[in-house]
Amino acid sequence: STLAMINRLLTEREPVAKWLDEQHPGVRFTDSEWKKMEVMRSMLRPCEEVCKLLGGEKYVTASVVLPACAYLKKQMTVTEDDVGYERRFKEAFYADLISRLNNIDSNANLQVATALDPRFKHLKAVPKTQREQVWSLISQLLTDALDGPADQMDAASPPSKKPRQQINKFSLDSDTDDDENGVSNFCQAK
């Protein structure tokens, strides 16, 4: 809602300035305040992208949660080019985001969903120390599903060999670490 308000103000800058002059003489936005609104708009756009992406109803979103959170963290990391108000906003936003996520990076269900999504199979959004564990968990889940208790198996239909063959598709090796814009590109595609 803040982004929508800022967008509207920037779109209707001239009529707003005229209305302020007529209704409240002496009250107006300075050029630096308009510039701050433009900067705030650019800082809030990633939030809008992530909200739209995770709010989708016609596609799977669980696999995108971790990459989306990583994308937001990256966008809200303070850089040397940030001026005072940008730095304060990003620091507050980042701290609030971390407190709300509460170690979401370690959520096994989200890690597995992310690993099984071909767009994120290199697991850039999962801490490096946990990536091998995610693939081990997937392997164990497949093994358990194929080698489950005999009383759960239907004797008339033997288990499919397809899942064992598909596990080879998931490489543990990452050829590149350049997938950082994966969520951003996915957001734009949607």
What pLDDT score was predicted for residue 115?
A: 92
How many whole angstroms separate alpha carbon 25 and alpha carbon 3?
A: 27
Average predicted confidence (pLDDT) for the chain:
80
pLDDT tens for 70-86 read 999 999 999 999 889 99
> Looking at per-residue confidence, does 71 or 169 come out higher?
71
In this prediction the pTM is 0.69
Residue 120 pLDDT exceeds 50: yes
> Looking at per-residue confidence, does 45 or 105 come out higher?
45
Residue in 97, 126, 102, 111 with CA at minimum distance from that of residue 63: 111
- Which tokens in the block code for residue 96? 């609030």
Residue in 3, 71, 72 with CA at minimum distance from that of residue 38: 3
Residue 169 pLDDT exceeds 50: no
Dihedral pair phi/psi, residue 103, rounded to 5°: 60, 35
How many whole angstroms separate alpha carbon 60 and alpha carbon 136?
A: 23
pLDDT category of residue 23 using cuts at 50, 70 and 90: confident
What pLDDT score was predicted for residue 149?
A: 63
Query: Is the separation of the CB atoms in 124 and 182 below 8 Å?
Result: yes
Query: Is the separation of the CB atoms in 67 and 180 below 8 Å?
Result: no
